Structure 1
């Protein structure tokens, strides 16, 4: 009798562990962060860079438009410098208020609220380095995918081949850059 009870318990435990085996030793895929869209993401201090892509025309036009969402999880506004490529060009500045989610590049016909890279020669399908930094925080360089208007969701984001005026390399919202003043 005891042997039957012991065999039943062993069988029940074998079935329980056998059906839950993967959950006991394999890591859960839902706990790992991944970029669920075409863009790339990262963090600089309290500013989260989400789903960054660059949209250009199908032939690899002369203008690239950065499309990105910046999320400031901190309690103070941050002025984020966005620099293209090798960081030799002038940065574009985007101010993100505390607790704000700011979308950049959703209206390619406008000069405010956009970051344009010009001259831009990267072809769709390639990666283009973009550097994000603010204050004394350590910056982050992302390899941002370059896309064109071939997909319906990006068709309206293709920048014009000639930028609206006034503009210059890597334009964003017109937040004045701080200047140093001499101490008395």
Structure 2
């Protein structure tokens, strides 16, 4: 009788260990970074670049709206240079204060410093477009950013005007 109880206990432990031990060697998916939205992310120094994407008019506008969130994890402010397209393109500059989460591109109709419009934009939705982020002497970050249109309701308000507004 004791042998049968002992065998049952050993068998139950073996089944329990066999059913749960795979987590000992399997990688945990929650520890892997991934981009949960349509954009792409990266880091340049102490500034995180999150969910970068370009919204363009599918009907053939000549302006792209860079939609991105910049997160400054440093204790001092940084002036981030953003160059879209070829390295010779005119860069945009955005200052991100210490600990600040700065969203760009949420209001493409205004030129209040929270929008980076790309004039002469000819990439079609579905393409990838090069964007370079850099500040100070930190190593820059090259991202190939996806180009989307305003077909989805959450992106419809992010479509830029068909021509770039005059710079002030």
TM-score, normalized by the shorter chain, greater than 0.5:
yes
C-alpha separation in 2, matches of 1:65 and 1:164: 12
Alignment pair present for 1:96 and 2:108: no
> Is the Cα–Cα contact under 8 Å of residues 65 and 159 in structure 2 kept in the other structure?
yes
Q: Determine the C-alpha separation between the residues in 2 that align with 1:2 and 1:143.
A: 67
Cα pair 2:47 2:74 within 8 Å, conserved:
yes
Within a 5 Å distance, the mapping from 1:67-146 to structure 2 comes to 67-112=67-112, 113-146=114-147
Q: Which has the higher strand share?
A: 2
The CA deviation at 1:27 is 1.1
Structure 1 unaligned blocks of 5 or more? 168-184
Question: Conserved in 2, the CA contact under 8 Å of 1:60 and 1:122?
Answer: no
TM-score by length of 2: 0.93
Aligned-residue Cα RMSD (Å) equals 1.4
Summarize the Cα distance change of 1:24–1:117 in structure 2 as closer, same or farther, 3 Å threshold.
same
Where does 1:1-184 land on structure 2 (aligned, <5 Å)? Answer: 1=1, 3-112=3-112, 113-166=114-167
Whole-Å separation in 1 of the counterparts to 2:33 and 2:152: 25
Between the two proteins, the alignment pairs up a number of residues equal to 167
4+ residue runs over 3 A deviation: none
